[in-house]
Amino acid sequence: MSESLSQSGACNQPSACNQPSACKQPSASRDTLLKVSELTHQVNLGSDTLTILQGVNFEIKRGESVAIVGRSGSGKTTLLGLMAGLDSPSQGRIELDGEAISELDEDQRARLRAHRVGFVFQSFQLLPALSALENVMLPLELAGHQAPAEQARDLLHRVGLGERLLHTPRQLSGGEQQRVAIARAFASNPSVLFADEPTGNLDTHTGRTISELLMALNQEQGTTLILVTHDDQLASRCQRRFAIEAGRVQEFEGAL
């Protein structure tokens, strides 16, 4: 277990402390954005059960950037979806921002996602009939934002698409669509952004631009960034790296 995994931010010697009011250590609950405990996920295949994740434990702190790597079919998208509250686990507990999302029903998870979670899908998943501006405005409108158009315009300027506001997804390149998806994911100012292979469908140059953008937003806004990637350079820019193999998740140091 690496040092950062073992340190949850809690004081190592609480019982030995005789000056609690002078303690500078943040509490584990305030510092921890995501806590995954004994997570197991299985799917039913008729007569058989497929175990995708088994006995997974880890914690991620606020503001961290984390890359998840692993072979195709190892369970990366499954894990991301569970952490984001898109699905609920077969067993175990997931706490996001102090809330046990594994214990919420679908409607409650949807409400939590709308306020605290941004998700960038590999296939962008923009609404084809809406312009870039309208796609980014949508989550702002749903959240009851006062000035959705202004905020969406601002975000699109930030991702370099100020000249493409009225283009529909079909009128945008792959990299531009991915940037709209990132602007949309950041629109609700989420505590955490999940991104599933955000550079997977892009050429090397555009992929670099997207990586820069994600890292800049992580640093400037303090948004916790959890991404799945096959891109060594993007993984190495993250503060922490986890590998999934045979249903287990392990943190590792250094390159892939």
Ligand X SMILES: Nc1ncnc2c1ncn2[C@@H]1O[C@H](COP(=O)(O)OP(=O)(O)OP(=O)(O)O)[C@@H](O)[C@H]1O
Interaction site with Mg ion (CB under 5 A) = 77
**Bridge partners of residue 237, in order along the sequence:** none
- For residue 174, the SS3 value is helix
Q: Which of 64, 70, 164, 176 binds ligand X (CB under 6 A)?
A: 70
Q: Among residue numbers 147 through 186, which ones bind ligand X (CB under 6 A)?
A: none
Q: Which positions ≥6 away from 48 have C-beta within 8 Å?
A: none
Residue placing its CB nearer to ligand X in the complex, 23 or 43: 43
Q: Which positions ≥6 away from 207 have C-beta within 8 Å?
A: 199, 231, 234
Contact call for residue 246 and ligand X (CB under 6 A): no
Query: If you write DSSP's letter for every residue of 182-211 in order, what string do you get?
Result: HHHHHHT--SEEEEESTTTTS-HHHHHHHH
Cα dist from 178 to 110, 233, 234, 237, 241, whole Å: 23, 18, 16, 19, 23
Contact call for residue 199 and ligand X (CB under 6 A): no
Residue placing its CB nearer to Mg ion in the complex, 65 or 77: 77
Backbone angles phi, psi at 69, to 5 degrees: -125, 165
The interface partner of residue 50, options being Mg ion, ligand X, none and the CB cut-off 5 to 8 Å by kind, is ligand X
Contact call for residue 41 and ligand X (CB under 6 A): no
Site string for ligand X, 71-90 (x = CB under 6 A): -xxxxxxx------------
The interface partner of residue 74, options being Mg ion, ligand X, none and the CB cut-off 5 to 8 Å by kind, is ligand X
Contact call for residue 188 and ligand X (CB under 6 A): no
Residues in contact with ligand X by the rule CB under 6 A: 43, 50, 52, 70, 72-78
